Amino acid sequence: MSDITLQAFLAQLTIGLIGGCFYAMLSMGLAIIFGLLNIINFTHGAQFMMAAFLAWIGLTQIGPWLGQPDLQVNFWLALVLAPALVAVFGMAVERTLLRRLYHLDHLYGLLLTFGVALVMEGGFRYAFGVSGQGYEPPEILQGPVDVGFMLLPKYRVFVVVASLLICLSTWYLFERTKLGAYLRAGTENPRLLQAFGINVPVMITLTYGFGVALAGIAGVLAAPIMQVTPLMGGSLLNIVFAVVVIGGLGSILGAMLTGLGLGLIEGLTKMVYPEASTVVVFVIMALALLLRPAGLFGREA
């Protein structure tokens, strides 16, 4: 492996960054939900998958279903609509099911969301099979762009820019605005916040919806890269959970930086010894738990 050129190195690093963007978006959503609801959201992967499927349905299926073959929900619309729909679905689950579990141990929320995820995956599998569906990126983002050291598909450049924007604005919203302050106060002392006239239950529902919407955006962004299959979220989720644990449960900035960092590390591992590319994430998780049990960015309790 001594023959790695600088060019190849940069190329692999870039690919790692793209993976890291997905980890960052997904783990931020998880961190937000855990931080404010104390729920370990195992439905996250299924919600990611659902958004990708909605985008695909919008692009290829909805026209024929409605008898109007020309009708299409394009990528840009899907990027807004699909996460919104998934968020509404998520909020319905929160209102009807999750809400009943807040006073119980974390484990119950975990089991419930895991069950919901299985039902969702099963439903999509039944309806659309398992081999999956292809989703074409919009025409303007097709083809490669020369970034100096490699030919990078335009769409991947777009993914990096879009997800960094989304991550940074989410961080800003939660850590630097008044709304964010309310949300954080809601986790510290919901009763006191309620006394100030804030409707805490609605706030919690909306927060869950927001976390789910982040998964949804990631899902739509992933549709042109990965085959859209019922299983696409499940396999990603394990790593994303590791990211959240390393970053510190509930830390939004931690989730984002860890996500990007692990993407890069994974990319480099793929170059040197691909067999270990998944394992390396969990090795880092084990080390982080040993050395800093609250996570790299977590506040020690």
Partner 1 sequence: MRSRVIGCALGLSLAALASGAVAADKVSDGVVKVGILNDLSGIYSDFTGRGSAVAAQIAIDEMGGMVLGAPVELVAADHQNKPDIAANLAREWFDQGRVDMIADFPTSSTALAVMEIARQKNRVTMLSAGVAMAAITDKCSPLSAQWMVNTYALAAGTAKALLKAGRKSWYFVTADYTFGHSLEKDAAAMVEAEGGKVLGVSRHPFPGGDFSSYMLKAQGTGAQVIALANAGNDTINAVKQAAEYGIGRSDKQVIAPLLTYITDVKSLGLAKAQDMYLTEAFYWDYDDRSRAFAEKYFARMKRMPSASQAAVYSAVLSYLKAIQAVGTDEAGAVMTQLRSMTIDDAVIRNGRLRADGALVHDLLLLQVKKPAESKRDWDFYHVKAVLKGDEVYPKPSDACPLNAKG
Tell me the closest approach of the beta carbon of residue 132 to partner 1, in angstroms: 5
Which CB, 44 or 270, lies closer to partner 1? 270
Least Å distance between CB 187 and partner 1?
Answer: 33
CB of 171 to partner 1, least distance (A): 25
* CB distance 218 to 45 below 8 Å: no
Query: Would you say 188 or 275 has its CB closer to partner 1?
Result: 275
Of 169 and 235, the one with the shorter C-beta distance to partner 1 is 235
Complex with partner 1: residue 111 or 268, whichever CB lies closer: 268
User: Strand ranges (DSSP E) for the chain?
Assistant: 144-146, 151-153
**Minimal distance, residue 146 CB to partner 1, in Å:** 12
What distance in Å separates the CA atoms of residue 266 and residue 45, rounded to the nearest whole number?
A: 20
Question: How near is the Cβ of 120 to partner 1 at its closest, in Å?
Answer: 14
Distance CA 204, CA 175 (A): 17
Summarize as ranges the residues that interact with partner 1 (CB under 8 A): 8, 11-12, 15-16, 18-19, 122, 125-126, 129-134, 144, 150-151, 153, 155-156, 225-227, 229, 231, 235-236, 267, 270-271, 274-275, 277-279
Residue with tokens 């008044």: 178
For partner 1, give the closer residue by CB, 101 or 284.
284
DSSP class of residue 104 equals: S
The phi and psi torsions of 179 (rounded to 5 degrees) equal: -55, -45
